Chain A
Amino acid sequence: MLLDDYIPIVGESVVEDMRLVARHLKGRVIKNINSTAVGGGVAEILSRMVPLLKELGVDAQWDVIKGGEPFFSVTKKFHNALHGVPQEITDADSRAYWDTQEANLAQMDLHADTIFIHDPQPAGLVRIKKDLGNRWIWRCHVDVSNPEPRVWNILKPLIEQYDATVFSAPSFAQELKVPQFLIAPSIDPLSDKNKDLSPEVVDSVLQRFGISPDKPLVTQVSRFDRLKDPVGVIQAYRLVKPYVDCQLLLAGGSATDDPEGAQVLAEVRERAHDDPDIHVLELPPTSNVEINALQRASTIVIQKSLKEGFGLTVSEALWKSKPVIAGAVGGIPLQITHKYSGILTHTIEGTAYWLKALLQSPEFAKKLGENGREHVRQNFLLTRHLNDYMLLFLSLEHPGDVVTL
Chain B
Amino acid sequence: MRDPREELTDHIGSLRAFALSLTRNSATADDLVQETLVKAWTNIDSFQQGTNMRAWLFTILRNTFYSLRRKRKREVEDADGTMSESLATKPDHDGRLNLRDFKVAFDQLPDTQREALVLIGAQGLAYEEAAEVCGVAVGTIKSRVGRARARLAELMELSEEESLEITDSVTQGVVGSRPAA
Answer yes or no: are A and B bound together in one complex.
Answer: no
User: Which residues of B come within 8 Å of A, CB atoms?
Assistant: none
User: Which residues of A come within 8 Å of B, CB atoms?
Assistant: none
